[in-house]
Amino acid sequence: MNLVSVNVGMPKTVEHLGRKVSTGIFKSPVDGRVMVRKLNVDGDGQADLTVHGGVYKAVYAYDLENILYWQRVLDRDDIGFGHFGENFTVEEMPDDRIHIGDVFRVGSALLEVTQPRVPCFKMEMKMDLPGFSRQFITSGRLGFCFRVLEEGEVGAGDEIELITTGPGKITVWDFARLYFFDYDNLEKIRRLIRIPAVPPDWVRVFEEILTSSGEKRLTRMPQ
């Protein structure tokens, strides 16, 4: 596993369907080494902090094979590093092999996988493809977010070392499927929300699914 590219960009305002939209999805590769901090990567920013960024989404990673896949499927040559708003373009880290709660050493930073990426209309705007969010979700190629356990420097070419495998053995794709498609799998939902790395907001979402299915509300110790 390797870090192929580090991508950053500050929010900017663009025209979309007759209105102005502020977005941080436009990111470009940077040279040299960059500090990864608790809330983001140096030089990077998010426009809407209610849905992007923060402690549990400080860094977004997307696999190189996914980028190559979209180049082929969409027959486009404008899709490169950072195109999906990812901070890290990585290699050999597909959604169905990375677990929630996995901890990795990247450069001198220590990072923990917390959740899959959930697309919004800004991705469709960036891609200029209405309805692309659905295609993105069903592809199983969402990428994932990191929480920063230890701040540190990273750079393209760094090896990504697995330090600890997440408890519960729930992959990023498992998590996404439980939310979008497989919400009747109550046993796996119970396993998911017991993983300490899962953000509190997501725990509440899945507890509501359990409650609506007649399950007793589950709780865990606060992080």
Q: Are 58 and 144 in contact (CB under 8 A)?
A: no
pLDDT of residue 11: 87
Write phi, then psi, for 66 (nearest 5 degrees): -65, -40
Name the DSSP class of 117.
Answer: -
Report the pLDDT averaged over residues 142-170: 97
Q: Where are the beta strands (DSSP E) in the chain?
A: 2-8, 12-16, 19-23, 28-29, 34-36, 59-63, 88-91, 103-106, 109-116, 144-150, 152-154, 160-164
pLDDT, tens digit, 9 for 90 and up, residues 108-141: 999 999 999 999 888 899 899 999 999 999 999 9
Could you state, in order of their start, the residue ranges of all structural domains in the chain?
A: 2-165
CA 8/CA 87 separation, integer angstroms: 6
Give the predicted TM-score (pTM) of the model.
0.91
CA 199/CA 196 separation, integer angstroms: 8
Q: Which CATH superfamily is domain 2-165 in?
A: PK beta-barrel domain-like (2.40.33.20)
Most confident segment among 38-42, 50-54, 214-218: 38-42
Name the DSSP class of 216.
Answer: P
| pLDDT above 80 (res 145) | yes
